[in-house]
Amino acid sequence: MGQEIGRSRFTEVDFRAFRARLKEETALLGRWLREGRVGGAGTTIGLELEAWLVDGCGRPAPCSDRFLERIRQPRVENELALFNIEVNTETHALAGAPFRALHQELSARWSHAQVVAGGLGCAPLLIGILPSLVEDDLCLAHMTPSPRYAALNEQVLALRNREPLVLDIAGSERYTTQRSDVMLEAATTSLQLHLQVPPDRIAAYFNAAVALSAPSVAVAANAPYLFGRRLWAESRIPLFEQAVACTHVESQGAGALARVGFGSGYARDGLYGFFVENRQHHPVLLPELLDTAPEELAHLRLHNGTIWRWNRPLVEVVDGRCQLRLEHRVMSAGPTPEDVLANAAFFYGAVADLAESEPQLPRRLPFQVAEQNFYAAARYGLNAEVEWLDGWYGPVRELVLERLVPAARRGLARAGVAEAEARQALGVLQARVESGQNGAVWQQAWVERYGKDMPALTCAYRELAERGEPVHRWPV
């Protein structure tokens, strides 16, 4: 959920001072961009992977505090709830053998996490929404003790004038509820892919990521159940959008300026417009005043961390040099590390090809069409029908297999990824789509055969995931 802060209560003086710092730093970023003072000559990648802790009965295990005390790895961190963790990787150059490096790093961290969790009587699990979760699990007693999370909870409710958050998701079934906290967000766990490219190419890559959001969410869908109801193939999408809706407009449907949403349009100016939009249209949630120079952009970064576009612009200051990158947040976690790496290879390859081969992308695929595609793919997964460039319309599976997997091969080759490595990772993705079985489809097939025993479903999922075979090979 972003960087930590030191307290959870604030005054109007804090908000005014923070807004002043935010305005100053946003203007500074704009000046740096105009002057060409944004760094990053090469193309680098990295990922964040959220996970659950589950007990032997397949239920959430709220023990991340003890888990983190034992694992003692700086790149394994807490999340909003005590039954969630986040595993982060180093940054890797895309050229060469990036997926081998990511596999070695992720496998080592994941294996260590399994050992540490086992000592606590639980196990880590990669899945978009845990099927065995019940609404009572999402209580404030299970919120990770942290000023940041307490403040987010307080400020979201304050912006709503203390009126409850409303969840209403209609899919194959329907689930509605009201909440007086933001803990519903803890039910969603994702794969977040980071990409840094030369600053003069960042807008093109951002726009390509927007266009690819529909096929990305479809191939990786892994969250069909919430509290025992079958909703969307990727129910995480509407759940997260409604879980932290700061206004009534947001809770009634994802608007252009929703706190969590698809965004307001394509990038046109090196991503700077999104940071201006952040300042002008999104109220400050965490007005923590930091003892930093404006050149650190600390307040701008803190504010940006409370706005969760499905494709999010990020800014960092490294060794005094400003860097921009994008974060592709649409994919579900899991089911296995091999599936995760296949998803990453597909995105990094396809986005590179699309960004470099389609300079007229915003004209050929209007933003509103990309947005409609995204929600259709989140709802129907691999069964969705979407529109593509110049009015092409058809099944997302056909789009992926006939156009985007070949595009991903071209993009990875152009980026200098070793052919054998690209072939291995993309082969897993292609086989998944050809089989028609991603995590969501496997979960639905299991329920159709064995019934709605959600803890049993979770245990069966865990057993297969721990074997390490990618999901398209899982038996029901």
Tens of pLDDT, residues 182-239: 999 999 999 999 999 999 999 999 999 999 999 999 999 999 999 999 999 999 999 9
Minimal CA–CA distance to 165: which of 238, 229, 248, 240?
A: 248
368-396: pLDDT as tens digits:
999 999 999 999 999 999 999 989 999 99
Rg (CA), the chain: 21
Residue 6 is assigned to a structural domain of this protein: no
- Which of the two residues, 42 and 400, has the higher pLDDT score? 400
Would 371 be classed as within a structural domain? yes
Average pLDDT over residues 394-402: 98
Q: Is residue 311 a part of any domain in this protein? A: yes
**Quick one: how far is CA 259 from the chain centroid?**
14
Residue 39 confidence (pLDDT): 82
Q: Which pLDDT score is estimated for 250?
A: 56
Which burial class, exposed, middle or buried, applies to 404 when counting CB atoms under 10 A from its CB (0-12, 13-18, 19+)? buried
In a domain, 5, yes or no: no
Torsion of CA 459, 461, 462, 467, to 10 degrees: 130
Q: What is the value of pTM for the model shown?
A: 0.96
How far is residue 200's CA from residue 465's CA, in Å, rounded to a whole number? 41
Residue % of the chain over a pLDDT of 90: 91
* Domain, as residue range, for 267: 12-471
pLDDT of residue 253: 46
Task: Write down the mean pLDDT value for the chain.
Answer: 95
Examine residue 4 and state whether it is found in any structural domain, yes or no.
no
What's the confidence (pLDDT) of residue 1? 44
The per-residue pLDDT for 102 is: 97
pLDDT tens-digit series, residues 49-78:
999 999 999 999 999 999 999 998 889 999
Which pLDDT score, from 0 to 100, does residue 430 have?
98
Two tokens at 240? Answer: 């997260």
Residue-level pLDDT at 42:
86
- 251 located within any domain: yes
Q: Would you mind telling me the total number of residues written for the chain in this entry?
A: 476
Indicate which CATH number applies to the domain containing 420: 3.30.590.20
Determine the average pLDDT of the residues in 300-321: 94
- Domains contained in the chain, number: 1
Q: Each residue of 328-383: pLDDT tens digit?
A: 999 999 999 999 999 999 999 999 999 999 999 999 999 999 999 999 999 999 99
Residue pair 263/310 in contact (Cβ under 8 Å)? The answer is yes
Position 81 pLDDT exceeds 50: yes
Cβ pair 285, 155 in contact under 8 A: yes
Cβ neighbors of 166 (< 8 A, separation 6 or more) are: 176, 177, 178, 242, 251
Task: Please report the pLDDT score of residue 255 as a whole number.
Answer: 44
Q: Does residue 49 fall inside a structural domain? A: yes
Token pair belonging to 367: 């933003």
Task: Find the mean pLDDT for residues 122-129.
Answer: 98
Answer yes or no: is pLDDT of 160 > 70: yes
Per residue in 127-140, pLDDT (tens digit) is 999 999 999 999 99
Q: How confident is the model at residue 90 (pLDDT cuts 50, 70, 90)?
A: very high
> Cα–Cα distances in Å, from 450 out to 58, 128, 174, 444?
16, 21, 21, 10
DSSP state of 401: I
Instruction: Look at residue 378 and tell me if it is in a domain.
Output: yes
Q: In the chain, pLDDT over 70 holds for what percent of residues? A: 96
